[in-house]
Amino acid sequence: MRRLLFLLTTFLFFVPGFAQEAIKGKVTTVENGVEASLEGVNIYWLETTVGTISKTDGSFEIEKVDLPASLVFQYLGFETDTLLVSSNEFIAHQMRPTIAEELDEVIVSKTKASIQKTYFKPRNVVTISSDELLKAACCNLSESFETNPAVDVNFSDAITGTKQIKMLGLASPYLLITQENIPMVRGASQAYGLTYTPGPWVESIQVTKGAGSVTNGFESITGQINTELFKPLVSEKRYLNLYRALDGRNELNLRLNSVLSDRWSAGLFLHANNRRQENDRNDDGFLDNPTGDQINVLGRLQYTNAQSGWVGFLTLRYLDEQRQGGEMGTQAPNELRTNPLWRSDMNTNRFDISLKTGYVFPLRTYQSFGLQLAYSDHDQVADFGQRNYHINHDSFYGNLLFNSIFGNTLNTFKTGITAAYDKFDELVDSNTYSRVDRSAGLFFEYTYNDIDTWSLVLGGRLDKHNRLGTFFTPRVNVRYTPWQGSALRFSAGQGRKASNIFAENQSLFFTGRTISIDSNQGQFYGLGPERATNYGVSFLQSFNLFTNQGDFTIDFYRTDFIDQVVVDWETVGLLRFYNLEGDSFSENLQLELNYELSENLSLRSAYKTYRVETDFGSGRLTRPLTPRDRFFANLDFKTTANDKGAQWRFDLTHHYIGSQRLPANSRDGVSAEADGYALWNSQLTHAFSSSFEVYLGAENLTNFKQQDPIIASDDPFGSNFDASIIYAPIFGRMIYSGLRWTSKK
């Protein structure tokens, strides 16, 4: 490991070479009669490997070659220009759009879409902006996908009130969930970690379907979700969000940012929520939502030096949360027993610290390196009735990256090393489990990007893990543009992970089931690791209809498990863990249509169908609690804002969740199915100005509720008790309101 670090460090410092004489310039264009800078223009010397990319202000520096020489300017949507350069003088070049006809002046005003899809990148990435998160309450990250079809939101259990996400038919443990490209929701935080990132902290979310980058590790199987938090240097100086819901939930979010100097800026984020109100709308004697509170504080320091090329972030976060659930203070009306109340208590403390720093070589803006370091300590103490689950997880992650080009900026690469350390200590009922996982790996990723026609990302990483051994992880992404306004993509890749069977399946503690681990002498609880191949195709096409814009997407992805830890709920009163013998796969087909019905009204819609099957011990079955079909539609209406920013916004969202198979239980037997149902959510927002707005919303407008969600609620300490089979809302209609205030000064 030390030799690898020495070799890579030597490589980073000596590859750039010695300082070279440079030629400086600036690239601009004309927009509505006003000169505007162009960022990201590809600039290179003809028939050489020397090139660069223009900066945000259009400026550039490029290594001088033997003059005279031809300098090429290439940028999508603009005419490619070639200039003959014969001296060291400053180059001021103006590019023209590719539209050949001369038209009368037309001013086009368009609001940036709150969900963006890329036509030119090889990966299938959907970017969700902070504007999209304002369309719903979005109290935390697990609730931030309600108004878009990128990720499926599911109900997890009748005790904790949390929501879980799925993508491509598989649960979140098969996703790589990162915060600013540092792995975040994993291990001990897998079940509830999404609730630890408040929505008002999030600047944007990038959802990658299928094989992702190898630069962040080997654990991604179905894709990646990356969240970007607001940056102290560019976000509002002050932000306040107050929220109150009918179920008794109160929430406060506060962001404070300050520019300390021309290079340093700092931010402080605060989140606090509580629910003291006890709700039991279905009269089963159990709380519909847990009571409790959470304090979540994050501080960050940002360093930016544009002249030297250095940038860095230091982030610290502390979270303290308590949740109480279970039976109400009085027993259910039909209760005749004298047993104590079934109660749950879950206390979580978590500390995170991360450091990110990067350097861009001044004369070679296409060349840079970065360092990511992160440490977290997660401690959860939980008791559920007579069962308990305590876990402590210490984690360290380090990633060193180097970016450069082969020849010219059409051919780029990333390479580097990754190191990770995880220490787990668990108490499950009366059994203890402890282990330490260590890994180190090398990765390399090559990208060819001709934005006009096609692009390719070919990556691989070699890792050595103390339990998984030494293994190679390959991934490939291809994008082809058959005609204007289209993108055809293909992706394939492998991922693997250690299954943390208790942390990832904490709903098992809300049951009276007996836990059985069918050991095969593997490295994880006596079980082997998990490994899968994911591949898929995607086609995106934009169109204009009645002068309005729209786009249509077709996605198909399949995941085949080579090794898997099967979670078997198919025997009444028993929960088995064992390694897969046979086949297990997930297929997902998605059709999506987005269209601007008018300047102020837009429609987003999607249909998904799933086929998720596993060879259980009792035979091949559809994965339980996985809807076969889903339909989504969102209507977004907003009035035109006046000079002060006053505006009305209205959203109506429809979800149809199709039928799904239920796991075996004492009430429904072994082959029961839940019927499909529909949910309607809506929110109305009035902005009095660009800095102050209020909102009123409702989830589950039709008040649909799952009937008798808890099995054997009158005997919670018996073997038939089960509060984990939840596929629909329990609380029913939920109305909320709040306000947002921002200040740029």
- What's the CATH number where 62 sits? 2.60.40.1120
pLDDT attached to residue 33: 66
Q: Identify whether 18 is part of a domain.
A: yes
- Asked if residue 475 has pLDDT above 50, the reply is yes
Lowest mean pLDDT among 13-27, 196-210, 533-547: 13-27
| Residue 702 counted as domain residue | yes
Q: In the predicted model, is pLDDT for residue 105 greater than 80?
A: no
Segments forming the whole domain that contains residue 60: 2-94
Asked, for residue 359, whether it belongs to a domain, the answer is yes
Residue 111 is predicted with a pLDDT of 54
Considering the domain boundaries, does residue 192 fall inside one? no
- The rounded Cα 326 to chain-centroid distance in angstroms is 31
Give the residue from 206, 302, 198 showing the smallest Cα distance to 255: 198
Confidence (pLDDT) at 112 = 58
Does the residue 148 lie in any domain? no
Q: Is residue 306 part of a domain?
A: yes
Q: Which two tokens stand for residue 165?
A: 């996400």
* Contact present, 402 and 12 (Cβ < 8 Å): yes
Domain final residue pick, 64, 94, 124: 94
Instruction: Tell me how many domains the chain contains.
Output: 2
Interacting residues of 653 by C-beta distance below 8 A, sequence separation 6+: 135, 136, 146, 147, 632, 633, 634, 635, 680, 681, 682
pLDDT on residue 338? 60
The amino acid that residue 505 corresponds to is N
> What's the CATH number where 600 sits?
2.40.170.20
- The mean pLDDT of 311-319, rounded to a whole number, is 96
Bigger pLDDT: 82 or 303? 303
Q: What angle do CA 182, 188, 194 make, to 5 degrees?
A: 60
Predicted confidence at residue 19, as pLDDT, reads 40
Question: What is the rounded distance in angstroms from the CA atom of residue 321 to the CA atom of residue 278?
Answer: 18
Q: Give CA–CA dist 201/631, Å, rounded.
A: 29
Mean pLDDT in residue range 674-694:
95
Whether 217 is covered by a domain: the verdict is: no
The phi and psi torsions of 143 (rounded to 5 degrees) equal: -105, 10
pLDDT computed for residue 363 by the predictor? 74
pLDDT tens-place string over residues 40-97 = 888 888 877 678 888 877 888 888 888 888 898 888 778 888 888 888 888 989 898 8
Name 191's Cβ contacts closer than 8 Å, sequence gap at least 6. Answer: 156, 162, 164, 503, 504, 506
Is the distance from CB of 720 to CB of 712 less than 8 angstroms?
A: yes
Helix, strand, coil in percent for the chain, rounding step 5:
5, 60, 35
Answer whether 495's CB lies under 8 Å from 471's CB.
no
The predicted structure's pLDDT at residue 3? 45
pLDDT range class, residue 595, cuts 50, 70, 90? very high
Most confident of 83-97, 267-281, 357-371: 267-281
- Taking only the tens place, the pLDDT of each residue in 4-42 is 444 444 433 333 333 457 888 899 988 766 778 888 888
Q: How confident is the model at residue 102 (pLDDT cuts 50, 70, 90)?
A: very low
Q: How confident is the model at residue 156 (pLDDT cuts 50, 70, 90)?
A: confident
**pLDDT at residue 494 tops 60:** yes
Specify the 3-state DSSP secondary structure of 694: strand
pLDDT of residue 6: 42
- CA distances from residue 134 to 131, 197, 253, 267, 500 in whole angstroms, order as listed: 5, 15, 13, 21, 34
SS (H, E, C) 436-473: EEEEEEEEEEEEEEECCCEEEEEEEEEEEECCCEEEEE
**Which amino acid type is present at position 596?**
E
90 and 232 in one domain? no
Rounded to whole angstroms, what are the CA distances from 420 to 12, 166, 313? 21, 25, 20
Find the mean pLDDT for residues 364-385: 92
Q: What type of residue is 475?
A: R
What's the CA gap between 388 and 744, in Å, rounded? Answer: 48
Q: pLDDT for 506-534, tens place per residue?
A: 999 999 999 999 998 899 999 999 999 99
For 31, phi then psi, to 5°, come to -120, 115
Neighbours of 589 (CB within 10 A): 15
Domain membership of residue 463 (yes or no) is yes
Q: What is the dihedral of CA 20, 26, 27, 28, to 10 degrees?
A: 170
Of the three residues 67, 94, 121, the one that is the final residue of a domain is 94
Q: How far apart are CA 654 and CA 632, in angstroms?
A: 6
Most confident range (mean pLDDT) of 16-25, 75-84, 406-415, 617-626 is: 617-626
pLDDT for residue 402 is more than 90:
yes
Q: Residue 143: its pLDDT value, please?
A: 85
Average confidence score pLDDT of the chain: 89
Q: What pLDDT is recorded for position 32?
A: 66
Last residue of a domain, one of 94, 124, 159: 94
Average pLDDT over residues 726-739: 94
pLDDT above 90 covers a percentage of the chain that reads 69
Give the strands of the sheet with 81-85, arranged side by side.
51-53, 42-45, 69-74, 81-85
Name residues whose C-beta falls within 8 Å of residue 610's C-beta, 6 or more positions apart in sequence.
169, 586, 587, 588, 626, 627, 628, 629, 630
E strand or H helix that includes residue 418 = strand 408-428
329-343 pLDDT tens trace: 754 444 555 668 999
